[in-house]
Amino acid sequence: MINKSVPPVRSAVRRPSRAPWPYAPSLELPAGALRNYGAGRVLSAQQFVLAVGLSPQHYAVVSRAPGVGPVGQVLEQAAGFLAGCGAQITRVPLRCRMAWFQDSKGDFLWRRCVLFFARMFLSAMPAEAPWLPAKIWPAIALRPVVGHSRAHWEQVAQMLEGLAAGDQDLLLELGGSLASLGRRWEYYLAQMVLTAQRAGEFGPAEREAVARCDRLFYSIMTRYEPGYELLPATITRLL
């Protein structure tokens, strides 16, 4: 494992501040009531999870309204409320029942729900840009993909920072999700770099884009997954 000291890379993205969430168990929106768990960490309506706070800056919000009645309007008003408070909204294709996270007594375990959404967020491959079909990496330019991936890793860093600040146990319970994502990313980037080098398309601009992403990745892994061992290709680029 590399022991080179690299200073933490701070995100260039402006981090919005979110207004304190009301501690009341529900928030009355024009379309209906929004249930509140963990001081705004999980928001629900009609026994469905609508939004989960992965960090004070990031909320995962379901992409389509579950249930019946005005829940669709509640969902969009909740997303608008969160965005107005400065949160970054990520839509997720889930229809998530609260019953999935209830114990034997029927109590809703909001921490388990946050972990479920966090693991799902960490399962998304950073290199899978939304405008690119799957498995065409040999045909695409390196720099746009690495740029998109760096933005994704910045979101990962902010999510982990938010979890760590709110509840260290939540961060520990993520287990190997971050390590698994990191390993898949390293293999993917090594393939991309090798392909670009063989094609003669690994110039100074591409080298700098990869270096910035490598430094951010190294900063995240050494802080939140200290036992993680980097691949030799990543170590070589960092050196």
Q: Which two tokens stand for residue 235?
A: 């170590």
How far is the C-alpha of 128 from the C-alpha of 109, rounded, in Å? Answer: 32
Name the residue type at position 7: P
- Strand residues in 31-171 grouped as ranges (E): 32-37, 42-45, 48-55, 58-62, 88-92, 96-97
Q: With a cut of 90, say whether residue 103 has pLDDT above it.
A: no
- Give mean pLDDT, residues 69-98: 82
How far is the C-alpha of 76 from the C-alpha of 11, rounded, in Å? Answer: 29
- Determine which of 174-178, 196-200, 229-233 has the lowest per-residue pLDDT on average: 174-178
Q: Which two tokens stand for residue 36?
A: 């509140």
Q: With a cut of 90, say whether residue 211 has pLDDT above it.
A: yes
Q: With a cut of 70, say whether residue 90 has pLDDT above it.
A: yes
- Give mean pLDDT, residues 158-174: 79
Task: Look at the pTM and tell me if it is higher than 0.85.
Answer: no
Residues pairing with 80 in the sheet: none
